[in-house]
Amino acid sequence: MRNSGYFLAFRSVWKHPAFKTKIEAAIWLYMISNASYKNKEVRFIDDKVFVRRGELVFPLRKNAEIWGIPYSNMRNFIDRLKRKRMIETRKTTIKPQLNHKYGSVTVISICNYDKFQAQAEVVNHLPTKSDAILNNITNTLTNISKGLDKQKDDIIGSWGNYNIIVRKGKKFYKHKWKNEPLKEEM
């Protein structure tokens, strides 16, 4: 399981009018950081719950306990975020367990997740070291002068330091600024 990566957040989040306390702003950042970056099944206790991109499993009672606030305050906070159209919620049915006696759990969908997190791909395309930038420019100029820049790749996304490209119907990873062979998607 991959527990690294990053997400984008505005620095002004701590002063946003939707949040009455710093704890509410922290809960919001927790939601964004734990939202799924792709459609997948996640494990919740002994059940699998399907979440779409920008969604997370968020049991209200358990999170109220974790964050040290009353359940009624957590519920009011979630309702406020829904009224401000920052989130949408849905319930999904699960088997009751000893540590979660309810037959459902709340799944929160962050509105505009794609709009704000899509900027991450733009930022992610930029190398972080000046040497890498220089190498990239040098390699590109060398390839153009040698006529090696014949095949254009269809970039469909990115993952860390790699672009995800499609060639002949197959997905490959290509490092953004290092000249190394393509890695086939697993």
Residue type, 27: I
What mean pLDDT is reported for the chain?
77
Could you tell me if 14 and 69 are in contact, meaning their C-beta atoms sit under 8 angstroms apart?
no
Instruction: Check pLDDT > 80 for residue 125.
Output: no
Q: Identify the pLDDT of residue 69.
A: 94
* Least confident among 36-50, 85-99, 144-158: 144-158
Q: In angstroms, rounded to a whole number, what is the distance separating the alpha carbons of residues 25 and 29? A: 6
Instruction: Check pLDDT > 90 for residue 176.
Output: no
Instruction: Check pLDDT > 60 for residue 123.
Output: no
Q: In angstroms, rounded to a whole number, what is the distance separating the alpha carbons of residues 44 and 64? A: 17
Residue type, 106: T
Helix, strand, coil content of the chain in percent (nearest 5): 35, 25, 40
Single pTM value for the model? 0.59
Question: Across 73-82, 109-118, 123-132, which has the greatest mean pLDDT?
Answer: 73-82
Q: Which residue has the higher pLDDT, 40 or 133?
A: 40
- Binning pLDDT at 50, 70 and 90, where does residue 73 land? very high
Q: pLDDT tens digits, residue range 31-41?
A: 998 898 889 88
- Binning pLDDT at 50, 70 and 90, where does residue 148 land? very low
Question: Residue 40: which of 28, 30, 55 has the closest Cα?
Answer: 55
Q: Which structure tokens are listed for 115?
A: 């709009």
- Binning pLDDT at 50, 70 and 90, where does residue 3 land? low
Instruction: Check pLDDT > 80 for residue 70.
Output: yes
Give me the phi and psi of 43, to 5 degrees please.
-90, 130
Q: In angstroms, rounded to a whole number, what is the distance separating the alpha carbons of residues 42 and 45? A: 10
Instruction: Check pLDDT > 50 for residue 150.
Output: no
Q: In angstroms, rounded to a whole number, what is the distance separating the alpha carbons of residues 141 and 115? A: 34
Could you tell me if 57 and 49 are in contact, meaning their C-beta atoms sit under 8 angstroms apart?
yes
What SS3 state is found at 63?
helix
Q: In angstroms, rounded to a whole number, what is the distance separating the alpha carbons of residues 65 and 28? A: 16
